[in-house]
Chains A and B, each alone.
Chain A
């Protein structure tokens, strides 16, 4: 059982800083343009997508090299080539009208800059080469959030481009307290990872922990979102997600304001939020976008769904195989009637149904939506009805498993919903072996695990363990904004006060 395994692998390696990671060998560029070009081409194995444009500048031969696919032709023509052709001489930085010009001497840095979309100007007898930004990166536009849809409020969602995502975030903090720290991860991909936090609000210690953990990643490339997530987790073997994944800028904003940090990765359209607690996964932006009463109602519904999703099949199994005396007599007859012709023990029935359900979910997930409907009909109606008529699974079990599935999908976070469905298996086994005692046994282990668990060194089950009464205002219910005067203690923010007045007119009138 994963819960029993030691929760933190001991690191024997001493932490090393980023600078020491690889001894930087600077390859000095000469002053001869042709030599430099040859060095470059050899280094890049005569790659086909390199572009060249010979020019004359300051009466010397000059060469512009760049990766053709990365170039914005308008930028390149109007802001780089045209001024060079017109001016013919002068200071490079004055002639060229690009936002950023980086002089360098190093071949590796030059290649790295070119890969990021710079065109590099080489001039004969000039020891420096000039990387001029003229990039056009391929990216999609900001769209509606697909995985975390809400009814009221902002519909924006992150995209794959880090710059666009940071643009979305910057718009939301105009006083400059949003701080962005770039970290480069991956020796080949050199992926930019941005850690976002609010100055004077976020806890410095936690922030340093996150940055430190990201800096110590040594991989070839960041090809999936999970590398950063798994590098940051405190307990990699835990079934519970310890970082919150979201594609919604407004959700990131809310969490930043509560003193948490966000980690955005270039090429990944979801942000990671840390440190989070268990209840973060049950909060939806919807709760704050609607009125407090509705938000609280749905919050309670979700917490209820947590217990249903995890324990309903187990309770059903335990009841019908061990504790018949527990349910009222009339109900016993109904249940018994539906079980009459089923040859399997309840645990097998439950496993069959859960498996079918997961199959259907997995099958419809990646299909085009028009075909997915067919799966729904075939799976839901045909298999559902036929399996009961064939007496493989009882009616009751279908109801139980369907309710479980629906409840598990109520959770706003996909990770948490999967965790719940996975955890229902040990519960079912416990129920089949020991009845209610088995359920309580597994539940106790899960609660203990949650108490021990930490998200970036912060307790996971706060405000329940350690118990913070004031924290409960935004956990099981969402209190009216006028009472939410303090930020949750979970992220140990520097300032606890969140607001001074929302309804000041109320008392002034």
Chain B
């Protein structure tokens, strides 16, 4: 029996935890900026877009079974082309890891630690990632599964918002226009990233290829539903004028709700949210170091975790200096996402169709 494998349900939770991260705290606000109170429709559309892209990614793993993304590139593009692309991916994932770190540190600084230097907070995240990203897929899957309990707590906490909801805020539905709704769905799609981990995880899944697809799609569905639930909660809780002044509406909802034992539940929430952030971070650091392992042809990815994290630490500390830099980094990452998540996998899939004869197809 292969010791390093995960079950289908573990894959589901792994993808789910990778997808849910720092993005949700500000997502309702970001969608609102373009799509107004129709942001939830954009989110649904994003969900559909992501499902389609997931199909492409899955198609790739289905056509080249037993291979990770990094092995696929070498197989399809040859040694040099593959390595070139792999280096690109490694750096892409390093940057994504840094973005996650920077955004969370940013929120922490604004909500809790006004005076703490950013590098201390970066260090905290990096230490946890260092401890766990060196583990194999099996342990990562197990950990991601048990911490999913916190999502239930999140849903329950957010449900407070529905007590003071005003349904009229949502109407008229669709007043911001189809164009704006579609534009906002771009933002929504980015918040759902994480499903691409399937390209790395697929060979480790101890289930049929179609089952893998089902699990990833299920994860996409759950994330979409969860996000729509949170977005609607925010739009119903705050009036359209209010939302514009609360960049992290999820936290403001928690802050506003009263509780007889804990008065500021948002502060507790923000610290526990580190778990969701850290799961995404761990996954990306893992993927990145697996890439390095593939480039340097080593047996394990363990020695590369510290190297990846040194890059992440450096980038995070530099970019968390001012809000402008944070915004610039997020913007740059958005462009990279189009290239690395949307374009390249689709190109690879097309390439694998063209070179049909050389690759074997099995279910």
What residues of chain A have their CB less than 8 Å away from a CB belonging to chain B?
Answer: 3-4, 323, 325-328, 434-437, 439-441, 444-445, 447-449, 451-452, 459, 461, 464-467
Contact = CB atoms under 8 A, between A and B. Distances in A.
Q: Identify the interface centre among A328, A439, A444, A445: most chain B CB within 10 Å of its CB.
A: A444
B173 interface: no
B225 interface: no
A451 B124 contact: no
Interface in B1-51: 7, 9-10
Contacts of B74: none
Given A326-B263, A448-B131, 11 more contacts: A326-B267, A327-B263, A434-B113, A440-B274, A447-B147, A448-B128, A451-B143, A452-B135, A461-B142, A465-B142, A465-B146
Contact of A440 (B10, B146, B262, B275): B275
A458 to B, nearest CB: 12
B142 A444 contact: no
Given A326-B268, A466-B145, A437 B274 contact: yes
A51 to B, nearest CB: 58
A440 B272 contact: yes
A467 B124 contact: no
Given A437-B274, A451-B146, A465-B142, A445 B267 contact: no
A325 B278 CA distance: 26
A437 B146 contact: no
A445 B131 contact: yes
Contacts of A439: 271
Contacts of B135: 452
A445 B261 CA distance: 27
A326 B262 contact: yes
Contacts of A3: 131
A325 B265 CA distance: 10
A467 B148 CA distance: 11
Contacts of A325: 263-264, 267
A447 B112 contact: no
A325 B146 CA distance: 30
Q: Can you list the 5 inter-chain pairs with the closest CB atoms, starting with the nearest?
A: A465-B142, A436-B271, A451-B143, A437-B271, A465-B146
A467 B146 contact: yes
Interface string B327-349: 00000000000000000000000
A323 B267 contact: yes
Contact of B128 (A323, A434, A444, A466): A444
A328 B260 CA distance: 7
A445 B128 contact: yes
B284 interface: no
Given A326-B268, A328-B261, A436-B271, A448 B146 contact: no
17 contacts: A4-B131, A323-B267, A326-B262, A327-B263, A434-B124, A435-B112, A437-B112, A437-B113, A437-B271, A441-B127, A444-B274, A444-B275, A447-B143, A449-B131, A452-B139, A466-B142, A467-B9
Interface in B123-167: 124, 127-128, 130-132, 135, 139, 141-143, 145-147
B271 A440 contact: yes
A317 to B, nearest CB: 14
Contacts of A444: 128, 274-275, 278
B108 interface: yes
B271 to A, nearest CB: 4
Q: Identify the interface centre among B131, B139, B261, B271: most chain A CB within 10 Å of its CB.
A: B271
A149 to B, nearest CB: 33
A328 B145 CA distance: 34
Interface in B298-352: none
Given A440-B275, A451-B146, A466 B268 contact: no
Contacts of A459: 142
Nearest to B279: A444
Contacts of B262: 326-327
Contacts of B108: 437
Nearest to A439: B271
Contacts of B10: 466-467
A451 B131 CA distance: 12
Contacts of A452: 135, 139
Contacts of A440: 271-272, 274-275
Contacts, number: 80
A465 to B, nearest CB: 4
Contacts of A464: 146
Contacts of B261: 327-328
Contacts of B263: 325-328
A436 B268 CA distance: 7
A448 B124 CA distance: 15
A3 B9 CA distance: 28
Q: Identify the interface centre among A326, A449, A464: most chain B CB within 10 Å of its CB.
A: A326
B142 A451 contact: yes
Nearest to B265: A326
Contacts of B267: 323, 325-326, 436
A490 B141 CA distance: 18
A27 B1 CA distance: 48
A452 B302 CA distance: 15
A461 B138 CA distance: 13
Contacts of B9: 467
B46 to A, nearest CB: 29
Contact of A447 (B141, B146, B271): B146
A448 B135 CA distance: 10
Contacts of B147: 447
Given A323-B264, A326-B263, A461-B146, A441 B131 contact: no
Nearest to B116: A434
B9 to A, nearest CB: 8
A465 B146 CA distance: 6
Interface string B272-289: 101100100000000000
Contacts of B130: 4
A465 B131 contact: no
Contacts of A327: 261-263
Interface string B214-231: 000000000000000000
A222 to B, nearest CB: 32
Contacts of B274: 437, 440-441, 444
A441 B271 CA distance: 9
A327 B108 CA distance: 20
B188 to A, nearest CB: 28
A439 B131 CA distance: 17
A441 B128 CA distance: 8
A445 B278 CA distance: 11
Contacts of B271: 435-437, 439-440
A441 B273 CA distance: 11
Given A437-B274, A441-B124, A448-B132, A465 B264 contact: no
Nearest to A440: B271
Contacts of B113: 434, 437
Nearest to A323: B267
A459 B262 CA distance: 36
Contacts of A434: 113, 124
A323 B263 CA distance: 10
A226 B261 CA distance: 45
Nearest to A332: B263
Contacts of A451: 139, 142-143, 146
Contacts of B260: 328
Contacts of A465: 142-143, 145-146
A445 B125 CA distance: 11
A418 B131 CA distance: 24
A465 B261 CA distance: 31
